[in-house]
Structure 1
Amino acid sequence: MRIGSRRSTLALTQTGLIADRLRTLGHQVEIVEIVTEGDTNRASLSQLGGTGIFATAIRNALHDGRIDLTVHSLKDLPTAPADGLTVAAIPQREDPRDVLVARDGLTLGELPVDSVVGTGAPRRAAQLAALGLGLRTRDIRGNVDSRVELVRRGVVDAVVLARAGMSRLGRLDEVTEVIDPLQVLPAPGQGALALEIRTADTQLHEALHVLDHPDTRAAVTAERAVLARLEAGCAAPLGALAEISEDLDGRLEVSLRAFVGRLDGSFELRRSMTGPLDKAERIGHDLAQQLLDDGALEAFAPSDHPPEPPPGGHLPTDANPVTDIHHQRRGA
Structure 2
Amino acid sequence: MTPKAVLVAKYLLGTRGSALAMAQSGMAGQRVAQAGGFEVELVTVKTEGDVLTGPLSQMGGTGVFAATLRTRVLDGTVDFAVHSLKDLPTAQAEGLSIAAIPEREDPRDALCARDNLTLSQLPEGARVGTGSPRRAAQLLAARPDLTIVDIRGNVGTRLARVAGLEKYGVNGHGIYGTKTMATATGDCDAVILAASGLKRLGLEKVITEYLDPLTFLPAPGQGALALETRSLEIAATESAEPSALAAALMALDHLETRMAVTAERALLRRLEAGCAAPVGTYARVEEGILVLDAVAAHPDGSTVLRQSASADELTVEVAELLGIRLADNLLENGAAELTGLTL
TM range (shorter): 0.7 to 0.9
2:94 is paired with a residue whose SS is coil
* CA-to-aligned-CA distance 1:186-245 (integer Å, 9 cap, x gap): 000000000000000131322211100000000000000111011169952111100112
- 2: CA distance, partners of 1:300 / 1:191: 24
* Matched position secondary structure for 1:128: helix
Paired residue for 1:265, among 301, 308, 316?
A: 301
Query: Does the 8 Å CA contact 2:132/2:275 hold for their aligned counterparts?
Result: no
- Residue 98 of structure 1 pairs with residue 115 of structure 2: no
Q: Secondary structure at the match of 1:53?
A: coil
1:91-136 Cα deviation digits (max 9, x unpaired)? 0010100000001100000001100100111110011111134111
Aligned equivalent of 1:208: 249
- Aligned partners of 2:79, 2:274: CA distance in 1, in Å? 34
Q: Paired residue for 2:188?
A: 156
- Would you say 1:256 and 2:292 are equivalent positions? yes
User: Residues 188 and 239 of structure 1 are in contact (CA less than 8 Å); yes or no, is this contact kept in structure 2?
Assistant: yes
The answer for the alignment partner of 2:324 in structure 1 is 285
Q: Which amino acid aligns with 1:135?
A: L
Matches of 1:236 and 1:145 in 2, distance apart? Answer: 25
**Alignment of 1:12 onto 2:44:** no
Shift of 1:301: 4.1
Query: 2: CA distance between counterparts of 1:98 and 1:158?
Result: 13
Matched, 1:230 2:271: yes
Checking the alignment, whether the CA contact within 8 Å between 1:113 and 1:133 is kept in structure 2 is no
Equivalent residue for 1:189, pick from 204, 221, 235 = 221
Indicate yes or no: 2:77 matched with 1:77: no
Aligned counterparts of 1:122 and 1:268: Cα–Cα separation in 2: 13
- Give the TM-score taking structure 2 as reference length: 0.84
Distance 1:62 1:299 in 2: 38
- Residues 12 and 185 of structure 1: is their aligned pair in 2 closer, same or farther, counting only changes over 3 Å? same
Residues 142-151 or 127-136, more deviating: 127-136
- Cα distance in structure 1, aligned partners of 2:255 and 2:229: 18
Asked if structure 2 preserves the Cα contact closer than 8 Å seen for 1:267 and 1:298, the reply is no
Aligned to 1:243: 284
In structure 1, C-alpha distance between the alignment counterparts of 2:25 and 2:340, rounded to whole Å: 39
> TM-score of the superposition, structure 1-length normalised?
0.86
Give the 3-state SS of the residue equivalent to 1:110 in structure 2.
Answer: coil
Equivalent runs, 1:141-152 vs 2, <5 Å: 141-151=152-162, 152=164
Whether the 8 Å contact between 2:127 and 2:188 is mirrored in structure 1 is yes
Mean Cα displacement is larger for which, 275-284 or 214-223? 275-284
Mark the CA change 1:112 to 1:133 in structure 2 (over 3 Å): closer, same or farther. farther
What per-residue deviation string (whole Å, max 9, x for no partner) do you get for residues 70-89 of structure 1?
00000000001100000000
Count of aligned pairs between the two proteins: 297
Residue by residue over 1:239-294, the C-alpha shift from the partner in whole angstroms, topping out at 9 and shown as x without a partner, is 11001122xxxxx2210001111221122211101112221110000000000001
> Which runs of no fewer than 5 residues in structure 2 stay unpaired?
1-10, 165-184, 235-242
* Kept after mapping to 2: 8 A contact 1:273/1:283: yes
Gap regions ≥5 residues in structure 1: 247-251, 303-332
Does the 8 A contact of 1:236 with 1:262 survive in 2? Answer: no
Partner AA of 1:291 in structure 2 = L
- Distance across 2 between alignment mates of 1:37 and 1:120: 17
RMSD: 1.6
Q: Hey, what does 2:210 align to over in structure 1?
A: 178
Q: 1:233/1:22 Cα in 2 relative to 1: closer, same or farther (>3 Å)?
A: closer
Give the alignment of 1:58-73 within 5 angstroms. 58-73=69-84
- 8 Å CA contact 1:100–1:107 kept in 2: the answer is yes
Larger radius of gyration: 2
Alpha-carbon contact 2:268-2:274 (below 8 Å) kept: no
Among 121, 126, 140, the alignment partner of 1:129 is 140
